[in-house]
Amino acid sequence: MDYVGRVVSIVRRAKVFVRRMEVEAKGSTYHIVMDVEGPTDEISWLVAKLDKLPEVLEISRLQQAPAVAIALADRR
């Protein structure tokens, strides 16, 4: 959960409201899906900030707004 903790540490500093956050271990990665509410620029900043983490292998903004999906490397 170390990597998930790193993600949460960044999300909690963004000026967004987190409506939902799901974490699921899939094979060798953790998948996180978040529904967040906030200004578009703030969500863009959050995505850019999360993408800076080297343990974030992939990140995308989903079509159904506003959602962010993250694939994290496994640390188990």
Partner 1 sequence: MALFDAAYFVDDIEVVMFRHEQGAAHAAEGYARVAGRPAVVAATSGPGATNLITGLTDAYMDSVPVTAITGQVATWVFGRDGFQETDILGVATPITKWVYQVKRPEEAVPAVRIAYEISRLGRPGPTLVDLPRDLQVVTPQGEAKIPINVSKFIPPKPKEEDIAKALKIVLEAERPVVLAGGGVLWSGATKEVLELAERLNAPIVSTLPGKAAIPHNHPLYMGPAGMHGRAEADAALANADVVIAVGTRFSDRTWGRFKELQEMIRSGEMRVVHIDVDKSEIGKNIKPTVGIVADAKEALRAMLDMLPAAAARSPKFLAWLHEIRRRYEEAMEKAAAEFKYFAPWKVLKAIRRAAPPNAITVTGVGGHQMWAEIWWDVYEPGTFITSAGLGTMGFGIPAALGAKLADRSRPVICIDGDGSFQMTFNNLALVREYDLPFVEIIFDNASLQLVKQWQVYMYGNRQIATRFARNPDFIKIGEAYGIEGIRPSTYEELERAVSWAVRNNEPLIIDVTIDEDKDIVLPWVKPGDWLTQAILPKGMEDVSLSYERY
- Which pair of tokens denotes residue 62? 């989903």
Of the pair 15, 64, the CB lying nearest partner 1 is at 15
CA distance 49 to 27: 25
Looking at this protein, which amino acid is placed at residue 50? L
The two structure tokens encoding residue 66: 């506003």
Q: Is 55 in the site for partner 1 (CB under 8 A)?
A: yes
How many of the other CB atoms lie within 10 Å of CB of 4? 16
Binding mask 29-48 for partner 1 (x = CB under 8 A): ------------x--xx--x
List of residues contacting partner 1 (CB under 8 A): 2, 5-6, 9-10, 13, 28, 41, 44-45, 48-49, 51-57, 73-75
